[in-house]
Structure formats: structure tokens, C-alpha cells
């Protein structure tokens, strides 16, 4: 990905890579315990996977339509009720499959990186 002046735009590449695999860390977070969307954003930020609400909420909606996640409404001590997301059985299965695929991909890419560094 290059800019109009022909320079390689690392920020664009990082953004595209992050969007392409974001479902995996979101499933990991929700799989740990039922979670409120702003807490998902907070955990992604802590992991240096900066994501904005405009990216997360459409992803959660797609994951709900795909029956990977579900939610319940929980009363809030301050403010409106909150959607608390949790994994469905299909979401748990998807998480296992994605984790296996990620580990294979990680091994393969690291192998190539080691060859490149020689």
C-alpha cells in the first residue's frame, strides 16, 4: 500500500491487518467472561490493538448475526441498561478454530521472518 507520492504507508497496512483479524481478539475477550462493549474497547487498547467504536460495534453486530455471540441486557447503576456480550456454542467453536489457525499462521510467518533476517 503506497501513498500518492509512492511511499509505503505502514499505518494503512497495520490498520488493514488489524481489521482483518479483529474478530479473533474480540472472541478471546468475550470468551474470558461476558463483557460490556466499552470494556472490550478498553482491553483491546491495553493490548495495543487500538480500535474505535465505529469499528467494534459493526463487528459485534456481524458476530451476533452469525450467531457467534449473544447478549443480555443488564441494568446499570448509572445510566441506561447495558448489553453484556457472551459467546454462543458456535462462538466457542469458532474461537477454537481461529486460535488453531492463528497458531499455524504465526509459526509460518515467524519461519519466514527468521529466513529473512539471515
* 101 within domain boundaries: yes
Answer with the residue of higher pLDDT: 53 or 33: 33
* 23 within domain boundaries: yes
47-100 per-position pLDDT tens digit? 988 788 899 999 999 999 999 999 999 998 888 999 999 999 999 999 999 999
* 113 within domain boundaries: yes
* 5 within domain boundaries: no
* 2 within domain boundaries: no
| Residue-level pLDDT at 49 | 87
Q: Please tell me the distance from the alpha carbon of residue 72 to that of residue 51, in angstroms, as a whole number.
A: 23
* 81 within domain boundaries: yes
Domain count, the chain: 1
64-67: long-range contacts (C-beta < 8 A, 24 or more apart)?
Answer: 66/90, 67/91
Q: 49: domain range?
A: 10-117
* CATH at 36: 1.10.10.10
* 83 within domain boundaries: yes
Of residues 98, 103, 115, 112, the one with CA closest to residue 28: 98
Q: Please tell me the distance from the alpha carbon of residue 67 to that of residue 105, in angstroms, as a whole number.
A: 25
The predicted model scores a pTM of 0.82
Rounded to the nearest integer, the mean pLDDT of the chain is 90
Give the neighbor-by-neighbor strand order of the sheet with 69-74: 35-36, 82-87, 69-74
How many beta carbons lie within 10 A of that of residue 102, not counting itself? 14
Amino acid at each position: 500500500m503506497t501513498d500518492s507520492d509512492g511511499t509505503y504507508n505502514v499505518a494503512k497496512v497495520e490498520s488493514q491487518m488489524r481489521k482483518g483479524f479483529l474478530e479473533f481478539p474480540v472472541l478471546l475477550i468475550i470468551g474470558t467472561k461476558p463483557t460490556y462493549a466499552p470494556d472490550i474497547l478498553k482491553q483491546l487498547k491495553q493490548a495495543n490493538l487500538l480500535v474505535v467504536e465505529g469499528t467494534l460495534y459493526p463487528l459485534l453486530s456481524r458476530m451476533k448475526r452469525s450467531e457467534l455471540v449473544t447478549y443480555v441486557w443488564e441494568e446499570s447503576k448509572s445510566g441506561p441498561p447495558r448489553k453484556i456480550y457472551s459467546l454462543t456454542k458456535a462462538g466457542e467453536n469458532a474461537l477454537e478454530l481461529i486460535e488453531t489457525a492463528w497458531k499455524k499462521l504465526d509459526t509460518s510467518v515467524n519461519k519466514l521472518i527468521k529466513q529473512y533476517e539471515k
